[in-house]
Structure 1
Amino acid sequence: MKLNIITSSLILSNIANAAVLPQAVFEIEDYLISSIDSLPLVNSTELQSLITTEALYSRAEKLYEIASYSNKSFGHPTRVIGSKGHWGTIGYIKNELKSLNNYYNVTVQPFKAFMSEVFEFNATINNEIPKSLIEMDMTPPTPNKKPVYGELKLIPNFGCNDDDYLNISNNNILLIKRGECSFGLKAQLTSKFGAKAAIIYNNEPGEIRGTLGVPPDGVSVAPCLGINLEEGLKYESLLLNGEILNTMIQIDSFVGPITTVNVIAETNHGNDENIVMLGAHSDSVSAGPGINDDGSGTISLLEVAKQLTNYRVNNKVRFAFWAAEEEGLLGSNYYAESLTLNENEKIRLFMDYDMMASPNYEYEVYDANNIDNPKGSEELKNLYIDYYKSHGYNYTLIPFDGRSDYVGFIEHGIPGGGIAAGAEKNNAENGKVLDKCYHQLCDDLTNIAWDAFLVNTQLIAHSVATYASDLTDFPVREIENSKLNSMSFAYRGDKLII
């Protein structure tokens, strides 16, 4: 049966390079449809059986090789947007999908984004370098990339309101607690009230990770670094006791606009009034190659897309590979916001697959429901739970709070859900961090739990097969759920945490 599709592809290629009558094109199109119709309807068990660890490993090796295209410019492998590693990733995704015998219509969606690279950073507080000091993505450099000096000033509350900044001067560097609002707003208010820079400290145990995001047009942003809770509380205590903490911050960074692309692949058959959609992000942070985050999701989708070509589907399946997730979910939000109302309502559900293979993994399911989220989100959650339970795996419910690419869909009334293997938090069973290389250079081929990778990719295959074959029991989209901006999440992006 596969031979028929391949033969059709070759004939179409010949037609594209020769003058032929329109009737011949119609005949070939009919032949393609006949070839698809001759395939068996997708079956979950069979589709899962085609997913192998060997195939996942081969793709991971290729993705790491592609990340190395950035070595000359960045000094290490990375697939951050704008890099050769990311453009190579885009090319790899497109070529892989286009090689699948015209099973998919593959398109790209360009959009403008901001890229960020922090080349060097440092800070001292009373001549001591904080041990947990870390850069904030999308931070501007200090003026002329040189050090700035000032007294450290503690900002009350969470630094989310103008009133929190009434007693600062332009000689201050600010200490601000994480929480209540985005890192970006804290950086904007720091600049608005004339302080030189800010240090944001975590409000929970563990390393702080964040992005300042893309500022509104004309809004100034102050340079920012981060530290953990333990050190933040130490400096807070000293300041509350009246001590003067002389502080220095120096940041050499670049923040600027670029154009990047989403890649979308949709089956050329199936009911286009019932679109089953799933996505992963194609970019990494600048610090490393991102083989788990989210190379693993990219690889899973590519392998499921490949094996799906052995079957026909009743409902169209649309695979999305988002760019600029690490800059604040820019690609997926742009896509969701660009949908017309008619296009929106054809998408029956969206499934998000970000970080499938964390080395100290847990099987995480987004805790969606049909009260706070569009109707159907809870059914998605239950599909994942039932799968893990039926295979004897423990699972963990995690907040459905807007930290990944599903958020734009939920906000636009489209049911959503997804799974993950974990990022910066600790595993409840052994107390160790789920991904010790999260957003770091060591997120490479050694940073993958191959058993979890296989299980989660097979679950992705199960989710696709289930809904591509039948949506009869899945809640029908409701008109009121299609209203744009129907919801708003405080958390946006796995780094735009508050």
Structure 2
Amino acid sequence: MLYSGMRHLNRAALLALLTLSGAAHATLENDAGTLLPYGPRVAGSPANEQARTYLEAQFRALGYDTRRQSFTYSRFDDLGSDVQVAGQTLAGTALQDSAGGTVQAAVVRVPGTGTPEDFARVDVRGKVAVVQRGQIPFLQKAQNALGAGATGVVIVNNAAGDFRGTLGQRTALPVLGVSPTAGEALKDGVTVTLNVRVREGDVTGINLIASRSGQPGSSVLFGAHLDSVQGAPGANDNLSGSLTVLEIARRAATTPLGGRSTFVLFDGEEDGLLGSRAFVKDNTAMVQGLKAMLNFDMVGVNVMPLSISGTPALMDTARRAGLPTAGSDIGRSDHVPFRDAGVPAAMFYRGEDANYHKPGDTVLDLGLVRETADVAVTLADAVLSATPAN
């Protein structure tokens, strides 16, 4: 069953929808029905903490001990940037490391992609330079615009939709990224108001860790990131993975698997795998004892059949168990710090759906979550069958 637009349902309607989904799997449906209405779970936000508190209570109710691991980092946030033209407000995204500010000036369409030669062909002094994405790094575009005297920069995406980007170092110019549709409205010579609203400051991320006390040391770690990006409710990215971890914990609660597992919901993944990096750094002995780290990211929308990619020996184990593998290219998610620390690691993934990092990320198929948990438990059992308990 697909859960679409759940943020827009009142509580009574939501509960009615969940009831219709079938009482046989009420627990997982209740989890989704509780968590999705919180909205985007950006690290450091109230919604992020609400979700973690709820999930912590679920782990404890299953008999697991929980603990929290905090870490602090600096983050650049777009507080809602746009460009106004001819009575329209066109949404955009400030590039990370952009200066903030409001600029009202005429547009100059810079030919090409913003190379020095491109800027030499037009006069952007005191104007807002509009350039195409591509060919050279964002920072070079901004530096070239600044050197030519522009007071602001708009970078137009070279593919459909908005984009997020990073300059790599602070710049004195406000720099906004927009979609091709928004870019079409920025005609040469028209006056615009460029609003780049940004904030930079410290954020505290919190990993949630669950395990059973008084049991043999953990051999398998099941992990997923709980945080989502600004503006995206994060149903598939990555409530789907978080609920997979919880579902596995439920199934394992009264089995030997539960005593040999650790379950972690990482924070700060969207800001650079920061939660998993902090975990690996601060839990060296435990990490070195792991036989497998299984990570779940975007497993709730069937863009493609479930695939597992990972380190070679672990993929050999998965193939012997008859599971769907996709080689050793395991992408960029919270398994990476574990792999880099020498832990056999695997990534469970169903592909990037159309609502990736967008407000429309409200779709979650709980049947796919259960299927992912099935496959993960099979792989974990295969790993443990070759690893006798202490």
TM-score of the aligned structures, taking structure 1 as reference length: 0.59
> Corresponding residue for 1:442?
360
Answering whether residue 296 of structure 2 is matched by residue 353 of structure 1, we say: yes
8 Å contact 2:110–2:129 — kept in the other structure? yes
> Corresponding residue for 1:400?
330
Q: 1:92-131 alignment to 2 at 5 Å?
A: 92-101=54-63, 104-114=64-74, 117-123=77-83
Answering whether residue 253 of structure 2 is matched by residue 335 of structure 1, we say: no
Distance 1:401 1:309, change over 3 A: closer
| Partner AA of 1:347 in structure 2 | L
> Corresponding residue for 2:221?
277
Distance 1:308 1:202, change over 3 A: same
Quote the RMSD (CA, aligned, Å).
4.2
8 Å contact 1:301–1:319 — kept in the other structure? yes
| Partner AA of 2:27 in structure 1 | A
C-alpha displacement at 1:308, in angstroms? 0.7
Distance 1:314 1:461, change over 3 A: closer
- In the alignment, the residues of structure 2 paired with residue 366 and residue 201 of structure 1 have an alpha-carbon distance, to the nearest angstrom, of 35
- In the alignment, the residues of structure 1 paired with residue 339 and residue 251 of structure 2 have an alpha-carbon distance, to the nearest angstrom, of 28
> Corresponding residue for 2:34?
62
Distance 1:315 1:201, change over 3 A: farther
- In the alignment, the residues of structure 2 paired with residue 165 and residue 267 of structure 1 have an alpha-carbon distance, to the nearest angstrom, of 62
Answering whether residue 199 of structure 2 is matched by residue 254 of structure 1, we say: yes
- In the alignment, the residues of structure 1 paired with residue 100 and residue 384 of structure 2 have an alpha-carbon distance, to the nearest angstrom, of 51
8 Å contact 1:138–1:327 — kept in the other structure? no
Q: 1:17-32 alignment to 2 at 5 Å?
A: none
Unmatched tracts of structure 1, length 5 or more: 1-51, 68-76, 371-375, 389-394, 424-433, 473-498
- In the alignment, the residues of structure 1 paired with residue 53 and residue 278 of structure 2 have an alpha-carbon distance, to the nearest angstrom, of 21
C-alpha displacement at 1:187, in angstroms? 8.5
Answering whether residue 379 of structure 2 is matched by residue 466 of structure 1, we say: no
Alpha-carbon deviations, 1:380-439, whole Å to 9, x = none?
Answer: 66479x334xxxxxx87795332x22222233333322112222xxxxxxxxxx3x4332
Answering whether residue 48 of structure 2 is matched by residue 86 of structure 1, we say: yes
Instruction: Return the match for 1:365 from 307, 321, 325.
Output: 307
C-alpha displacement at 1:280, in angstroms? 0.8
C-alpha displacement at 1:466, in angstroms? 3.0
Distance 1:409 1:200, change over 3 A: farther
Q: How many residue pairs get matched?
A: 361
C-alpha displacement at 1:311, in angstroms? 0.5
C-alpha displacement at 1:95, in angstroms? 1.9
- In the alignment, the residues of structure 1 paired with residue 152 and residue 232 of structure 2 have an alpha-carbon distance, to the nearest angstrom, of 26
| Partner AA of 2:32 in structure 1 | A
8 Å contact 1:269–1:316 — kept in the other structure? no
Residue 26 of structure 2 aligns to a residue in which SS? helix
Unmatched tracts of structure 2, length 5 or more: 1-23
Identity, % of aligned pairs?
Answer: 19
> Corresponding residue for 2:351?
422
| Partner AA of 1:151 in structure 2 | V
| Partner AA of 1:302 in structure 2 | L
> Corresponding residue for 1:452?
368
Distance 1:225 1:420, change over 3 A: farther
8 Å contact 1:368–1:400 — kept in the other structure? yes
C-alpha displacement at 1:322, in angstroms? 0.8
- In the alignment, the residues of structure 2 paired with residue 286 and residue 108 of structure 1 have an alpha-carbon distance, to the nearest angstrom, of 23
C-alpha displacement at 1:191, in angstroms? 9.2
Alpha-carbon deviations, 1:113-149, whole Å to 9, x = none?
Answer: 3456544332368x69798x64257565632x45566
